[in-house]
């Protein structure tokens, strides 16, 4: 029988698991509230309905993990990665992610704002219909992400990279898009009433909508 690593759910939280690899572990309904995790790897693990509120992670990698129903409120993550993970009915409000990644992950039917993000990578992530109103996504990467019907009204996307993103019915009303990298399709597929853009973006918007700008 394959050894899948130690079971954290019934161990002293002060035990040092730094550098440990966890493979296929089931941590459903466990409580890790307020713990600090450093330099760990979780692959194919289940965190369904797990209490991870106020958890602190540093350079922790989660790959193909299930966070359905998990409580991540108030958690803080630095240099951590959530790759190809599943978040459904997950609570993430008041959490902070710095220099972290959600590459390829799916986030749906989850409460995630207010939320603090600093240079977070959402490349290939599925964020369809998610509520990110007013969230600061400056400098974040959303390349080839699914943003269909997502609500980013009043969001700040300065310097964000949305190239290749799916943006059908994306709500960007009153959002700040200065310096954001976008494809021409965004100018025709998203809702942009009151959005703040730069002059060169205005020219791109006009061209995408069949307008002719004098002098260009």
pLDDT tens, position by position, 190-206: 999 999 999 989 899 88
Are 109 and 133 in a shared domain?
no
Are 69 and 107 in a shared domain?
yes
pLDDT beyond 50 at 96: yes
Threshold 0.75, pTM exceeds = yes
Point out the domain boundary residue: 57, 89, 121.
Answer: 121
Give a yes or no: residue 70 inside a domain.
yes
pLDDT tens, position by position, 11-68: 444 456 778 999 999 999 999 999 999 999 999 999 999 999 999 999 999 999 999 9
Domain count across the chain = 2
Q: Which CATH number goes with the domain that contains 169?
A: 2.160.20.80
Point out the domain boundary residue: 66, 96, 121.
Answer: 121
Point out the domain boundary residue: 96, 121, 146.
Answer: 121
Do residues 62 and 79 touch, judged by C-beta distance below 8 A? no
Give a yes or no: residue 81 inside a domain.
yes
Are 84 and 25 in a shared domain?
yes
Are 117 and 155 in a shared domain?
no
Give a yes or no: residue 6 inside a domain.
no
Are 20 and 117 in a shared domain?
yes
Name the band, by pLDDT with cuts 50, 70 and 90, for residue 209: confident
Name the pairing type of β-strands 76-78 and 86-88: unpaired
Are 88 and 182 in a shared domain?
no
Domain that holds residue 132: 123-211
Are 35 and 56 in a shared domain?
yes
Give a yes or no: residue 8 inside a domain.
no
Are 145 and 198 in a shared domain?
yes
3-state SS track over 120-171: CECCCCECCCCECCCCECCCCECCCCECCCCECCCCECCCCECCCCECCCCE
Are 102 and 141 in a shared domain?
no
Are 202 and 127 in a shared domain?
yes
φ, ψ (nearest 5 deg) of residue 213:
-100, 125
């Amino acid at each position: 029988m394959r050894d899948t690593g130690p079971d954290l759910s019934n161990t002293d939280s002060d035990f040092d698991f730094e550098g440990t690899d966890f493979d296929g572990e089931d941590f459903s309904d466990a409580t890790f509230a307020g713990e600090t995790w450093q330099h760990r790897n979780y692959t194919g693990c289940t965190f369904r309905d797990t209490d991870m509120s106020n958890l602190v992670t540093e350079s922790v990698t989660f790959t193909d993990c299930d966070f359905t129903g998990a409580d991540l409120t108030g958690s803080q993550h630095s240099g951590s990665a959530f790759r190809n993970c599943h978040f459904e009915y997950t609570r993430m409000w008041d959490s902070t992610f710095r220099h972290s990644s959600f590459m390829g992950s799916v986030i749906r039917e989850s409460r995630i704002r207010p939320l603090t993000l600093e240079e977070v990578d959402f490349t290939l992530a599925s964020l369809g219909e998610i509520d990110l109103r007013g969230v600061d996504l400056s400098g974040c990467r959303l390349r080839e992400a699914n943003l269909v019907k997502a609500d980013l009204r009043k969001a700040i996307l300065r310097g964000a990279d949305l190239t290749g993103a799916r943006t059908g019915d994306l709500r960007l009303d009153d959002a700040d898009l200065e310096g954001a990298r976008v494809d021409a399709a965004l100018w025709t597929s998203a809702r942009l009433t009151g959005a703040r853009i730069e002059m060169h973006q205005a020219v791109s918007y006009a061209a995408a909508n069949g307008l002719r700008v004098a002098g260009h």
